[in-house]
Copies of this chain bind each other. A is one copy, B any other.
Amino acid sequence: MGKTLGELAAFLGGELRGPADLVVRGLAPVDQATPEDLTFIAHPRFARLGETTRAGAVIVSPQWAALDKPLIVVEHPYLAYARVAALFARARPGWTGISDQAHLGAEVKLGRDVAIAPLVFLGEGVCLGDRVTLMPGCYIGPEAIIGDDTYLAPNVTIHERCRVGARVVIHSGAVIGTDGFGFIPTPEGQLKIPQLGTVVIEDEAEIGANVTIDRGALGETRVGRGVKIDNLVQVAHNVELGEHTVIAAQAGIAGSTKIGKWVGLGGQVGLVGHIKVGDRTQIGAQAGVTNSVPPDQVLLGTPAWPLKETHRIWASWHTLPELYRRVRKMEQQLADLTATLERKSET
């Protein structure tokens, strides 16, 4: 598993400053690396640790190229780290062939080299592309379609007729295509609105553990190409997520909301239903968004306002008790002044 510094510098298109034949066997944080590890400095915060790191070699930007260590100098060390990590990563656990402890429904269509682990259930008419991997405990509902090279971690549920693209990763415990939440109160109780739609997950999306994505009431809930969703996120029925949007853990998006491309939602963010969020907008952690947002905004707070304004508001709360004191003091002063003036008038 070792790589020479020469190989790595070539792979990264970086400048080698050190012995090309030095071998590193792993990748480690700057403060934990051993002489057998490669490390990297991607943030000024960690720069001074570079001087004391025990790492065998360091990936740095030109800014820190003076470091007295074997170096690979690149423009973007964090990006280089991601690329080297992919070299050192082991393959995800898989399976070979189709386990006879899996259940395959009638008329399933299987691509080439699919991997179906034990304890997997495929409903009738499921269609799997080439090299799909289904880990133990996965359930794929009738007529669901899964694209080439897609990987489902253990205990994933994909409901009937949902469509998952190619090169998608879905993590454990995620539930795709469960009923949307629609009820109408009637004198007899909550009347269920049957959820007739589906979920479509486009190519290269990645869905976190224990995420829930509801099927459309009518039509589709859609997760765009390359979207990345962290754990425990709720995506309600008929939501649309534009390409390359990123959603942090525990965020929730209510029904029919449309989110643009390259949007970022922070952890625990909540969006009401039936709004639109423009491309590239960033929404900070725990924000509550109740209105549509244009492109290229940065919002924070509940209710969500532009970042600067929310910071101003938060700062102002901090001194609110003092403001009350100042107002009270002025009221007294005013009363005194008024009384003084009245006395003067009377005299």
Contact = CB atoms under 8 A, between A and B. Distances in A.
Interface of A: 27-29, 32, 78-79, 81-83, 85-86, 88-89, 93, 99, 101, 103, 117-119, 121, 123, 135-137, 139, 141-142, 153-155, 157, 159-160, 169, 171-173, 175, 178-179, 181-186, 189-194, 196, 204, 206, 208-210, 212, 214, 217-219, 225-226, 228, 230-232, 234, 236, 243-244, 246, 248-250, 252, 254, 262, 267-268, 270, 272, 285-286, 288, 302-303, 305, 309, 312-314, 316-321, 323-324, 326-327, 330-331, 333-334, 337-338, 340-341
24 contacts: A28-B218, A29-B219, A79-B186, A83-B191, A85-B217, A93-B141, A118-B121, A119-B137, A137-B157, A154-B157, A155-B175, A173-B212, A178-B209, A181-B249, A189-B204, A192-B206, A286-B288, A309-B318, A316-B320, A317-B317, A323-B324, A323-B327, A330-B334, A337-B338
Given A172-B157, A226-B190, A316-B321, A270 B267 contact: yes
State the oligomeric state as a number of copies: 3
A212 B183 contact: no
Given A175-B210, A194-B86, A236-B249, A316 B327 contact: no
A122 to B, nearest CB: 10
A324 to B, nearest CB: 6
A173 B88 contact: no
Nearest to A154: B139
